[in-house]
Structure formats: structure tokens, C-alpha cells
Amino acid sequence: MHRARYLLPCLLLMAGCNDDLVFSRYQPTQGGSWGKEEVMRFEFPAPDTLNRHNLFINVRNDDRFPYSNLFVIATLDFPDGTTFKDTLEYEMALPDGRWLGKGAGSLKENKLWYKENIVFPFKGVYTLELIHAMRKNGSVEGIQNLPGITDLGLEIEKSK
């Protein structure tokens, strides 16, 4: 009976492991609000130069986030100086207002596709920079602060 008490937590821990996970890092936003000028920067070494990988942008938000979608500009810099820049749109809530993502209570985590089956052709350090590109309809000026975006992350997994 004494050993059984420790068996369940160990099994849950092993089940939660992801053998395909190569890199995972999060950065908190300032005070739970993502500022327009706040660049989220992730540096990572090339996992290898032969195999394909999937990249995910992870977003944690709480119920203070007032929008149903999120626009992000992602800039990926390669060690050789090559740069890829993408404008991405992610759905964060259903039309009825229910949040997408996983989590209990008011905090949700969304694992969002960024790049699929990418090969890192060069050894060295790669850099991903994320900024938000949110605007109100009809406005040219960007929104200064996105309340409710608490953390942003980058995950790299081996492609299957």
C-alpha cells in the first residue's frame, strides 16, 4: 500500500513526457500584458541539420484577453544571416466566447503551429522574435497593450 501511493504520480510523470520534444522555453510578459514594443526573443541551437522538426508558438492567456484572435509577426533568423518573416493569425476563442486551449479556470494555454517539417540547414544559433500585430478594425495604429497574454513560448519537436 505504501508503494502504491508513489506509483500513480510516477506513472503520470512518465505519461506526460514527450520523447519528441527538443526545445521548450517560455517568457512572461510584463505584468500579464504584452506591449506593442515588447519583443519576445528565443535563441536556440540547431537540433540537428538532417531531420525535420515542427515549431510551435505557445501562448498563455487569461480571461482579461479581450479578443477572439491574435495576430503575431514572427521573425526567424538563421545563423547564416537568412531571415524569414511571417504574419500569423491564431484563433483564441470560439464564436460563442469560449476559450480555446488547455487549462483549468481562467488560464488557458494554446499550442499553435508555426513551422511544419522544417530542416535546420546550418549548425549554430537560431533566433525567433515575436511581436504582436493587433489593431482595432478600421485603425492604422496598433494596440499598445494586450491584457491577458501572460506568457509566450517556443517548442520544437521532432517531426514524425
Residue extents of the structural domains in the chain:
20-158
Residue with cell 487549462: 103
Is pLDDT at 158 greater than 90 in this prediction? yes
The answer on pLDDT for 91 being more than 90 is yes
Q: How far apart are CA 114 and CA 55, in angstroms?
A: 5
Residue 17 confidence (pLDDT): 61
pLDDT in tens, 25-61: 999 999 999 999 999 999 999 999 999 999 999 999 9
What local confidence, expressed as pLDDT, does residue 14 receive? 46
Rounded Cα distance between 57 and 109, Å, is: 10
Mean of pLDDT values over 85-97: 94
Average pLDDT across the chain, whole number: 89
Is a pLDDT exceeding 60 seen at residue 150?
yes
Q: Three-state SS for 67?
A: coil
Q: Which amino acid is at 61?
A: N
Residue 15 has pLDDT above 90, yes or no: no
Residues 6 or more apart from 1 whose CB is under 8 A from it? none
CATH 3.90.1720 holds for 20-158: no
Query: What is the value of pTM for the model shown?
Result: 0.85
Question: What distance, in Å, lies between the first and last C-alpha atoms of the chain?
Answer: 40
Q: 156, 23 in Cβ contact below 8 A?
A: yes
pLDDT value of residue 58: 98
